[in-house]
Amino acid sequence: MRGIALEGGGAKGAFHVGAMKALKELGVEYHAVAGASIGALNGALLATNQLEKLEKIWLSTEMSDIIKGDSEALMALMNFEFPSDSTKIKKFLSETFKQGGLDVSPLKQSLKRFVDEDEVRASNIAYGLVSVSLTDLKPVEKFIEDIPVGKLHDYMIASANLPAFKDEKLDNKRMLDGAFYDNLPINMLLDRGCDEVIAIRVFGIGRIRKISKKDRDKVIYIEPSEDLGKVLEIDIEKAKYNMRLGYFDTLRVFKALKGSRYYIDELVTEEVVLEKLLKIPKVVLHQIATFLGSDRGTYRMLFEEILPLMSELLKVDKTKGYAYVILSYYEFLAEQAKINRFEIMTFDQLTQKVNAHYSSELKSYKGIQDEIAKMLIAALPSKGVIFFPQKFKNELLIHFYYLVLQGLRDTGISL
């Protein structure tokens, strides 16, 4: 029996949708779904196999569909953007304070429109959610059969009731977002009898209950490879991006893809990487040595100085091997070149894209700024370069690559 645990995190929840699209494509079935906050809201439609409907909702929802009031003023507050004329923001804050928090009545209406309680109850996929009763000072963990008939939408709102929202009561009890008890209800599914749980994380703010040692092997985690944005960042383009991220980060887990930013299949072996590194002409190594103010333009310098320095600049573990360091370097170069990351490719395909981009820029490349170069070179012997601004580190890493490209072009050798 397989369960899906959905972590709470507001607008970050679009990641769930992309992850579920990948699971569906991979033919991964599930028998129960449980979530907290936005995980509970998404989970209701996933429990009724309405993934396409859920995607359409995410790609059409705006702030006004969630919170009643001046959406522009709320977005400005979230982004810490304060115009010279702050009248609208002051008015919004005043109204919010008077009513006891943000008014989520539009969200309530949307849930009643999109989620059919009878369908959730009739589904063969078990549905559960988490909330907290402030009145009783107790967690509320319920599957659909434990929720009184006609109360599903109220329990869903209770699960997503952030402290910033207007006070919500359920059967005369004050309720709080489920994230304050268990933002990723894996244990709830294990207790239900699931022998495998796919936990889809979004790194929302909240508590996550520990899992017993005997159950740890039962959990498969899907995690975003980059920050998903703010909890209340209701933006259709951002939702679309986070869905793509969820889709590919899920494929990374289930297809054992490599890379931290890109999605790499058929990773090159350590032996092949060593062979390629040893093909770098000595004249190129001398050019790098000259830039560094060293007279050691040898392969020893490459393996003892350059590659360890690159590992430090890239913040990667050099003990994982040269193939890992070089993959991380090409991922960095690809990201700097804005090469599309949302596709599965081999390591060779990644290097070809990177080589093509930087080779086309080689003639127009002006080199690292002289002043920065002097500071970097002066800092290299003591590794003081590690404390330089990230922009400087990036420039140094890119410059190394251009030095290699220039040397290869001059010698007529391809790497």
List, as one string, the DSSP characters of 141-167.
EEEGGGSPTT-HHHHHHHHT--TTBPP
Contacts of 70 (CB under 8 A, 6+ apart): 88, 91, 92
What dihedral do alpha carbons 258, 262, 268, 271 form, nearest 10°? -80
* Among 37, 159, 294, 328, the one annotated catalytic: 37
Bridge partners (DSSP) of residue 133 are 138, 175
> Is 177 annotated in the active site?
yes
Interatomic CA distance for residues 246 and 237, integer angstroms: 14
Backbone angles phi, psi at 28, to 5 degrees: -85, 115
Measure the N-to-C terminal CA separation of the chain; round to a whole number of Å. 50
* Among 154, 177, 182, 249, the one annotated catalytic: 177
User: What 3-state class would DSSP assign to 176?
Assistant: strand
Residue type, 370: D
**Cα 278 versus chain centre, distance:** 36
Which of 399, 303, 299 is CA-nearest to residue 358? Answer: 399
Backbone angles phi, psi at 69, to 5 degrees: 135, -165
Note whether 58 and 17 are within 8 A (CB).
yes
> Is 37 annotated in the active site?
yes
Catalytic site positions: 37, 177
